[in-house]
């Protein structure tokens, strides 16, 4: 039986974790996905590998490729309304280790 070769650590994509919070209301996970996709596009979404890990309405964590952190942060900053309600999404922390962010969320 042939074994699948595992990628070397130097060849794997590096990840960053962005902690965000929503000021002024609650939003759904699908809404955040659609807004990030709207601002950076489908190709950018695929390259960034953005994935929402934790989301509880007004706080959460997004996993992103380390080269696309600024693009995702910009897309979150451009969100300004949800269901005709003024909101603001701000990035509070960026970390390379998920454990450091999970203490706060």
Distance CA 62, CA 19 (A): 7
Count of structural domains, the chain:
1
Confidence of residue 97 (pLDDT cuts 50, 70, 90): very high
Confidence of residue 60 (pLDDT cuts 50, 70, 90): very high
Residue 43 lies in a domain: yes
Residue 35 lies in a domain: yes
Q: pTM of the predicted model, to two decimals? A: 0.86
Distance CA 27, CA 66 (A): 25
More confident residue, 104 or 80: 80
Residue 49 lies in a domain: yes
What is the structure's pLDDT at 19? 95
58: domain CATH number is 3.30.70.3250
Q: Which domain holds residue 42?
A: 15-96
Judge whether residue 105 has pLDDT over 70: no
Judge whether residue 36 has pLDDT over 90: yes
What is the structure's pLDDT at 3? 85
Helices (H), 1-105: 29-48, 69-77, 98-102
- Joined tokens for residue 66: 């380390």
Residue 89 lies in a domain: yes
Residue 45 lies in a domain: yes
């Amino acid at each position: 039986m042939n074994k699948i070769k595992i990628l070397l650590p130097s060849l794997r994509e590096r990840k960053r974790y962005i902690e965000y919070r929503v000021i002024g209301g609650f939003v759904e996970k699908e809404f955040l996905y659609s807004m990030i996709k709207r601002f950076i596009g489908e190709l950018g979404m695929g390259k960034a590998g953005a994935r929402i890990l934790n989301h509880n309405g007004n706080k959460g964590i997004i996993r992103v490729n380390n080269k696309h952190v600024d693009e995702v942060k910009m897309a979150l900053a451009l969100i300004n309304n949800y269901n005709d309600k003024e909101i603001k999404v701000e990035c509070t922390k960026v970390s390379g280790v998920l454990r450091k962010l999970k203490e706060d969320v």
